[in-house]
A and B are shown apart, each in its own frame.
Chain A
Amino acid sequence: MSAGSRLLRSELRLVLGRRRNQVGLLALAAVPVVLAIAVKVSVSEPGPEAPDFISSITENGLFVPLAALGLELPFILPLAVGIIAGDSIAGEANIGTLRYLLTVPVARARLLAVKYAATVLFTVVAVVVVAGVGAAIGIALFGSGRLTLLSGTQIGTGPAVLRVLLAMAYVVVCLSSLAAIGLFFSTLTEQPIGAGIAVIAVNVLSLILDQLPQLDWLGPYLPNHYWASYIEIFRDPINGEPLRSGVLVALAYALVAWLAAWARFAGKDVTS
């Protein structure tokens, strides 16, 4: 087994073994559970004015993971990704272990790559937890069967699950751009919480700017403008245009953030 994957596994053990992060994952998992139970016990079904997918939950349990992702994507998932990404380099600098990793030696580029990979894998775990728990409780409470797309067409369970998986992958790609921004912030400071808060600030600012009609022209360039476009996967045929734009924007932000992180970290004096 290559040395890179040994360090990556160590990194994942560190991230997933940490009590704080486990509690965070539990909190992420609570949303679909609360959502499904609330819909089940409410006397009247949610009306057509209810947010995306929630109105459809009673028809098919597979709408629970989609609705849960929709609820958590604007703020809760970015919060989780921001905390983990902010911790990546700054957390090691904060407790002084960075100097010992570098003298092992771990090359700085390799350390950045492993830290980023671990953050993205944590994002995958978070999305799988939200969607997995959502699907489990959704199917348990509402059953599955044929799924009615937004365009009205019905598809079978197999294709429906595939589309849910595709939506999860798209969400991971979107969040990965934020993870790269967090990696960059994490190279700037020895305060992991500070780096995490900076990520969250970028996310919130981007959300707000995206709402301002005066700044319409700016929208498509904001990091999270296309995030909600995962619903386009549930049209027949899939509306690929916004999805492609979303992936491109995510890759662009990730690339720029990565270059900035490398420029900052490559020659940085490690005095922590």
Chain B
Amino acid sequence: MSDPLAVRSTGLTKRFGQQTVVAGIDLAVPTGSVYGFLGPNGSGKTTTIRMLLGLVRPSAGEHSLLGSPMPESAGAVLPRVGALVEGPAFHPYLSGRANLTRLDDADASTDRSDTRRRVDAALDRVGLLAAADKRYRAYSLGMGQRLGIAAALLAPRDLLVLDEPTNGLDPQGTREVRHLVSGLADEGRTVLVSSHLLAEVEQICTHIGVMHDGSLVAQGPVAELRAGAGQRAFVETTRPRDAAAVLRQLGARDIEISHDRVGADLGDVVRTDLAPALVRAGVPVLALGVQERSLEDLFVSLTGEGFDVSG
């Protein structure tokens, strides 16, 4: 009964008018994983999540959640899925508790006599119990975000879909959300968490998928992606142009020259070939080194732009 993939899609596509916003992606989120769904703003993460949850109808493609086809199985599957989509949204004049109670009342799969307990447990889990009776409009950005996460945790969930859960949070809040997500993963729940900031989710993810312009350009276990990220060589020399030519001839890619320093991705080039080749070409080598590329480097090369560090 348990599918090895908590989220599976084939050729999932969304067009808004002429614009193709999500271009045929094949998501594979293993059950029990923490899947970082990464990509710059506008790359199609939220639209994908809306399709997964049945809010937006795909233009093409199919998908399933927890092993059941969507949207046909929405009624049976979605109660087991907690979601935060494009930020929290609540009734401004209702308290945090009243807002969660309303969502619990809307859920046909829950027992009314337990509403109060479930609501308070969810509020407690995100540290909002003390502010439960404040009106939502009096909440700070961070409190609103936490209330959104509390709503996602109202009932026991097998899958959590959290779209940019750290948006608008201060560093402390970001750490708390990371801690919360790790805790959920430890309980055996599958978490799909999107972010435009690699650094915010890298430490907690077991798997990563990278979106760029509506396409899924990389996907897999973090360790595998990191290993595949390859190595980068640095040569310090008085003749950087000649050094660059040698590296290019060897088959290195992404060659950068700055002052007396040349950097290049090694790809399939054998490390030990570097020094002899440089010497043979008569390039005076001041220093030579090779580094593992970071995931960040990989994403920069995949998405053609850096992740916005400032948020």
Contacts and interface: CB of A to CB of B under 8 A. Distances in A.
A10 B90 CA distance: 14
A102 B36 CA distance: 24
Contact of B92 (A10, A95, A104, A270): A95
Given A9-B105, A271-B50, A100 B89 contact: yes
B79 A105 contact: yes
A11 to B, nearest CB: 9
Contacts of A239: none
B93 A7 contact: no
Interface string A228-267: 0000000000000000000000000000000000000001
A97 B105 contact: no
A96 B144 CA distance: 13
A9 B104 CA distance: 12
A99 B91 contact: no
For chain B, give the interface size range. 20 to 34
User: Of residues B55, B78, B85, which shows the largest number of chain A Cβ atoms within 10 Å of its Cβ?
Assistant: B55
Contacts of B284: none
A124 to B, nearest CB: 21
A269 B55 contact: yes
A102 B55 contact: yes
B105 A102 contact: no
Contacts of B83: 100, 103
Contact of B75 (A9, A96, A107): A107
A3 interface: yes
Nearest to A96: B89
Contact of B106 (A10, A19, A96, A270): A10
A100 B105 contact: no
B108 interface: yes
Interface in B75-89: 75, 78-79, 81, 83, 85-87, 89
Given A6-B105, A10-B105, A104-B103, A95 B79 contact: no
Given A3-B108, A101-B106, A270-B55, A95 B91 contact: yes
A213 B108 CA distance: 53
A6 to B, nearest CB: 5
A96 B87 contact: yes
Contacts of B25: none
B131 interface: no
B87 A97 contact: no
Nearest to B90: A97
B102 interface: yes
A102 B86 CA distance: 14
Contacts of A99: 50, 53, 55, 85-86, 89
Given A95-B91, A269-B56, A103 B85 contact: yes
Contacts of A6: 105-106, 112
A6 B103 CA distance: 11
B57 interface: yes
A14 B50 contact: no
A9 B78 CA distance: 22
A7 B55 contact: no
Interface string B96-139: 00000111011110001000000000000000000000000000
A1 B57 contact: no
A106 B56 CA distance: 15
Nearest to A97: B89
Interface string B32-59: 0000000000000000001001111100
A163 B102 CA distance: 39
Contacts of A7: 105-106
A100 B107 CA distance: 11
Contacts of B54: 102-103, 105
B151 interface: yes
Given A6-B105, A96-B89, A97-B90, A103 B55 contact: yes
B74 interface: yes
A105 B91 contact: no
Q: Which of B75, B102, B106, B107 has the most CB of A within 10 A?
A: B106
A271 B56 contact: yes
A10 B102 contact: yes
Given A18-B93, A95-B91, A271-B56, A106 B106 contact: yes
Contacts of A1: 112
B56 A14 contact: no
A10 B92 CA distance: 15
Contacts of A106: 106, 108
Given A3-B108, A95-B92, A99-B55, 13 more contacts: A6-B112, A7-B106, A10-B101, A10-B102, A10-B105, A14-B94, A95-B90, A96-B87, A97-B91, A103-B54, A104-B79, A270-B50, A270-B55
List the 8 closest pairs (A to B, CB-CB), nearest first: A96-B89, A3-B108, A105-B78, A10-B105, A270-B55, A269-B56, A6-B105, A104-B106
8 contacts: A6-B112, A7-B105, A10-B101, A95-B89, A104-B78, A105-B75, A269-B56, A269-B57
Interface of B: 50, 53-57, 74-75, 78-79, 81, 83, 85-87, 89-94, 101-103, 105-108, 112, 151
